[in-house]
Amino acid sequence: MKKPLFSFIFSSAFILLLAAMLFSHCAAPEEERALTGLQEKALTFTGPLPEDAFEEGMVRSEERIELGKMLFYEPRLSKSGLISCNTCHNMSTFGVDQLPVSVGHMWQKGPRNAPTVLNAALHGSQFWDGREPDVESQALMPILDPVEMASSEEHVLAVLASMPEYVERFREAFPDEEEPLVYKNVGVAIGAFERILLTYSRFDDFLRGDAGALTDREKEGLRAYMDVGCQSCHGGTALGGTAFAVFETPAERESGESDPGRFDITGNPMHMHSFKVPSLLNIAETYPYLHDGSVWSLSETVDIVALDMLGRELTAEENKHIVAFLGALTGEVPAYALELPVLPPSTEQTPRPVFD
């Protein structure tokens, strides 16, 4: 049985450090409030969420975001006409399906727990194994995966091209492109929608200067979080999503069948059983936990990870406080994302669903 190892990507850590320095510099003057020592300490490894996750040079247009939302909720992108992004990343339940692993085409089960789409655009890479660089490229994958939406690029484009409203919306969302309705742009549009899916929590208020935004127990939890060293992996604005770490779940160790993780992508033996460190934002709502979704209790998960990754056996008190702090990371799902779009009707040209 393998002993778990630490394995960080130091370049990401460096970027995080820079970002944290930047935030700690900005927060105080913006709020014109003196920060407490606890706030200052927290700002050394994280910062409040930005307004959105668009990066320099990206197009942030209403047309593109709205099209992305429609595609996110569009079941006709799937082979069966039944499964949309929202099936597994249900906006009603914080962008996850709350199942150990997801259920896809023909009730096939996915290999890993579905991460939330909320704040996902802040991650350094996508998927548990980090195999895609951003939400734009990630969004294209489950559509084609035979155990998820089981579609094809041809099917998706035929579906979208069959409805005049979609053709027009692609034109408006990509006004400078001669051929806006291409598969890549499906991902660009869904990605644009995902880049506004940031969830502001009381911890954000705290980091922006409102020391009273956390309860005393949550503050104790934040102290314990830092004392124990959680931020060494779970740092940055998303409290995770950037570093990678070698990790086997208790269920995997028991069964002796551990997911190779990032090794399957890179072939690098250093990456055996290595996974992207998940973000802790909304963690109280995105159970069950770990990459195989094998643990339902957040408290239990905190104990497992602290012991395994940091060699720390938490006291019951520490555990309670940290769990309380993690609860303060539950944010608001943007109202706009919760408003279902009314989808355009199929036409005679729309390919029929195939569900057996």
Query: Which positions are annotated as active-site residues?
Result: 148
Helices 316-327 and 298-310, packing angle to 10 deg:
110
Tell me whether residue 275 or residue 289 sits nearer to a copy of itself (CB atom).
Answer: 289
Beta bridge partners of 126: 132
At 277, which amino acid appears? V
Q: Measured between alpha carbons, how far is residue 208 from residues 29, 46, 202 in Å?
A: 10, 11, 10
Decide whether 104 or 130 has the Cβ nearer to a copy of itself: 104
Residue 32: its H or E element: none
Q: Which is nearer to a copy of itself, 129 or 194 (CB)?
A: 194
Between residues 134 and 285, which has the closer beta carbon with respect to a copy of itself?
285
Burial class (CB in 10 A: 0-12, 13-18, 19+), 100: buried
Q: CB of residue 254 vs a copy of itself: minimum separation in angstroms?
A: 18
Measured from the CB of residue 335, what is the shortest distance to a copy of itself in angstroms? 8
- To the nearest whole angstrom, how small is the minimum distance from the Cβ of residue 165 to a copy of itself? 13
The answer for residues whose C-beta is within 8 angstroms of residue 19's C-beta and 6 or more apart is 47, 236, 237
Chain positions contacting a copy of itself, by CB under 8 A:
73, 75-76, 80-82, 87, 90-94, 97-99, 103, 106-107, 109, 284-285, 287, 296-297, 333, 335, 338-343, 345-346, 348, 352-353, 355-356
Q: Compute how many other C-beta atoms are within 10 angstroms of the C-beta atom of residue 103.
A: 17
Q: How far is the CB of 250 from a copy of itself (least distance, A)?
A: 17
In one-letter notation, the amino acid at residue 323 is: V
Q: How far is the CB of 202 from a copy of itself (least distance, A)?
A: 16
Using alpha carbons only, give the angle 113, 116, 121 rounded to the nearest 5 degrees. 125
The Cα–Cα gap between 353 and 349 comes to 12
Residue 245 host element (H or E): strand 244-246
CA atoms in the 13 A half-sphere facing the CB of 190? 27
Q: How far is the CB of 332 from a copy of itself (least distance, A)?
A: 9
Contact between 133 and 187 (Cβ < 8 Å): no
* b/e code 277-290 from CB counts within 10 Å (16+ = b): bbbbbbbbbbbbbb
User: What would the two tokens of residue 242 be?
Assistant: 């950037």
User: Between residues 15 and 147, which has the closer beta carbon with respect to a copy of itself?
Assistant: 147
The residue among 47 and 81 lying less far from a copy of itself, judged by its C-beta, is: 81
Backbone angles phi, psi at 325, to 5 degrees: -60, -45
